[in-house]
Structure 1
Amino acid sequence: MPTETVADQVTRYLDHLTVERGAATNTVNSYRRDLGRYEQYLVARSIGGLDEVTTDDVREFLVELRRGDSDAGLAPLADSSIARTLVSVRGFHKFAAAEGVVAADVAHEVRPPRPARRLPKSLPIDEVLAILESAGTDEHPRGLRDRALLELLYSCGARITEAISLDIDDFDTDARAVRLRGKGGKERVVPVGGPAIAAIEAYLVRGRPALVRRAEPALFLNARGGRLSRQSAWQVLVDAARRAGLDKAVSPHTLRHSFATHLLDGGADVRVVQELLGHASVTTTQVYTLVTVNTMREVYATAHPRAR
């Protein structure tokens, strides 16, 4: 019996997915594309059968996927696409080992590349102020609530879930601070700036009494008198950004990122920012320092006469 080629083995695996596993047509087609590229890679390396493939060959395949092949007209793949392709390749090798085609599954220990660290998106100070000014008016209880909510988010860098989980007793006017409950139930007390204090006090005096319907401890209330939901709080920010004329996507976390970035730009110590944000590790906070370094590079590149 002639030795099976990689193409033969790929065909057998796809038949297995279709007939025995009952995989959907789109799934099989996706595997066919991924394994077709893998087959091309092996042929280019003069590898005739799976018994010749090593773990290093599989790892090098991932490197090639990220690099792309302009001669073959193959564009570089994103990390998510590389991870999906690896799933196909690992399934293929696992099947071959189970069928006795090869002695061992050489792809078993190969892991997808770590996704590139995405820098948090922050807004310039003038855009943050424009959002806050557009949050609401003093003429309506919900306008007072919306302004208080967004002022608080930016003033203390709270997560959206931390803000909507606040009760009235968590806000201390005299101490100009708020008690936030972070991940894992860990509490921290964070200072609140003057504009946020004024906005929250205005809401408590003129806004919240018009919204409350029953004994409800929540600081931020919805139109029915219950605790404001995460989705509604998110919409408050989206609407304010639209009224401010911003044409970029924003989220409550955008204000948190802006809070941290602006503190570091102003000279705050990274460990102080870590405590304010409620990060368990300073490593998480240090990603914001990359943002400020990138900002400095951009300013330098555009402003220095000998930058280029």
Structure 2
Amino acid sequence: MSDHIVDLLADIEDPDTIEKLLELSDSVDFTSDQTEPSNPSTLHELYERYLSRRHDRSPATRSQYRRTIPSFIKFAEDRDIKMPAGISTELVDAYIDDLQREYDADATILTYTTNVRGWLCWLNKRGQCPDDVYTILDKDELGLSPRARDEAIPADEAISILEQLDRQRCGSFKHALLELLWNSGIRIGGAHSLDVRDFDPTNREIRLRHRPKKGTRLKNGNDNENAAGDGERNVTLSTSAVEAIEHYIDCSRPSVTDDFDREPLFATQYGRATRSTLRRRVYEATSCRWGNDSDNGACDENCDPDSNVCTYSYYPHAIRRGSIVHHLSGGLRPSIASERFDVSIQTLRKHYDPRTKRRRKEDRSEAVRNAWNK
């Protein structure tokens, strides 16, 4: 018998009460500390925990979380909902209505709803909210159709755009950037990380380096330079890409440094061009003004990626995907493509190679015939 029970019984004089307590002690553990359960976490606290569990995400992704998810939390708190138990489909539907009133672009609404959906799904796995509150944030359920296209840009369209840029905007920021992205297939983060010294026209290559302590990162960056898949590599460029970048450096690039005293390759008068600036240049370069439908004049070269993306524009990832498909269709072996584009062979085949089985067979047959003729 515990000291706790002994002390309790010592203060009781009624024998019947003592007997009942002794019977009760057989089924109740009086030795454990009987403390009140901790207060349930608020929406804001759960968001902070969610963010702390995602240190492996890139700074850009975490920044996007901070920009989008708190807007939903504030929307809920303005309606006196501070705990996850108060999240309902009615609240989520009202939030969607609010986003549609504030933003015109489906792409922007999709960014907010995708991130909030991910957070609500995380809460659901912990029993904090029901399934239906996040399933209604599905892209198709919302009927969202972002105007910038995310499929692979066809090779003939990319080449046509580059030819027109070469004629009318030779050596411009957007011309050099699109030539680089199409030829190298690098990610927009890779282009953002480049310094002027990383461009080597003599050897016709760019050098991608992971420099987190100096303001830029690669997606698969690793501080151990010997670690596999760290994203660091030298990428060979075509003559047209080298010439476009050289012309851009000589004629268009402002003579500036960034906050780390580095000379960014893609720069504005304020320093290193941000990822959003690079994306905006891709939207402009692939708009109807430079594409096959350039005669309709619908784009004024001032496309805003947050509110007025041209119907004909492509996302940067569509340029990367189109470049990879173009290289694979040209006979580049998957093993080499994997190294050039910093992507696993499995991912390469699953996500970046939309060729049909018949097309793949034809490409293999053509590569074999070319090998016979050598």
Q: Distance in 1 between matches of 2:333 and 2:207?
A: 21
Counterpart of 1:296 in structure 2 is: 359
Is this contact kept in 1: 2:256–2:263, CA < 8 A? no
Q: SS at the partner of 1:291?
A: coil
Q: Distance in 1 between matches of 2:236 and 2:200?
A: 10
CA shift in 2, pair 1:256/1:20, >3 Å: closer
Deviation at 1:23, TM superposition (A): 3.6
Query: What is the total number of aligned residue pairs between the two structures?
Result: 204
Q: How does 1:75-86 map to 2 (within 5 A)?
A: none
The TM-score, its normalising length taken from structure 1, stands at 0.55
The TM-score, its normalising length taken from structure 2, stands at 0.46
Q: Distance in 1 between matches of 2:318 and 2:327?
A: 14
What percentage of residue pairs aligned between the two structures are identical? Answer: 30
Counterpart of 2:155 in structure 1 is: 125
Q: Distance in 2 between matches of 1:22 and 1:225?
A: 43
Deviates more, 1:144-153 or 1:247-256: 247-256
Moved over 3 A (4+): 19-30, 84-92, 133-140, 213-216, 245-249, 294-297
Counterpart of 2:182 in structure 1 is: 154
Counterpart of 1:239 in structure 2 is: 284
Counterpart of 2:349 in structure 1 is: 286
Whichever residue aligns with residue 296 of structure 1, its letter is R
1:259 to 323, 327, 330: 323
Counterpart of 2:88 in structure 1 is: 26
Counterpart of 1:16 in structure 2 is: none
Counterpart of 1:188 in structure 2 is: 233
Is this contact kept in 1: 2:175–2:285, CA < 8 A? no
CA shift in 2, pair 1:139/1:177, >3 Å: closer
Whichever residue aligns with residue 167 of structure 1, its letter is D
Is this contact kept in 2: 1:216–1:225, CA < 8 A? no
Q: Would you say 1:212 and 2:255 are equivalent positions?
A: yes
CA shift in 2, pair 1:87/1:272, >3 Å: same
Q: Distance in 2 between matches of 1:184 and 1:201?
A: 27
Q: Distance in 2 between matches of 1:89 and 1:271?
A: 38
Whichever residue aligns with residue 219 of structure 1, its letter is L
Whichever residue aligns with residue 338 of structure 2, its letter is Q
Q: Distance in 1 between matches of 2:233 and 2:122?
A: 42
Q: SS at the partner of 1:179?
A: strand
Q: Would you say 1:168 and 2:196 are equivalent positions?
A: yes
Deviation at 1:275, TM superposition (A): 0.4
Counterpart of 2:70 in structure 1 is: none
CA shift in 2, pair 1:139/1:256, >3 Å: closer
Q: Would you say 1:229 and 2:259 are equivalent positions?
A: no
Whichever residue aligns with residue 283 of structure 2, its letter is V
RMSD: 4.1
Is this contact kept in 2: 1:260–1:288, CA < 8 A? no
Is this contact kept in 1: 2:324–2:353, CA < 8 A? no
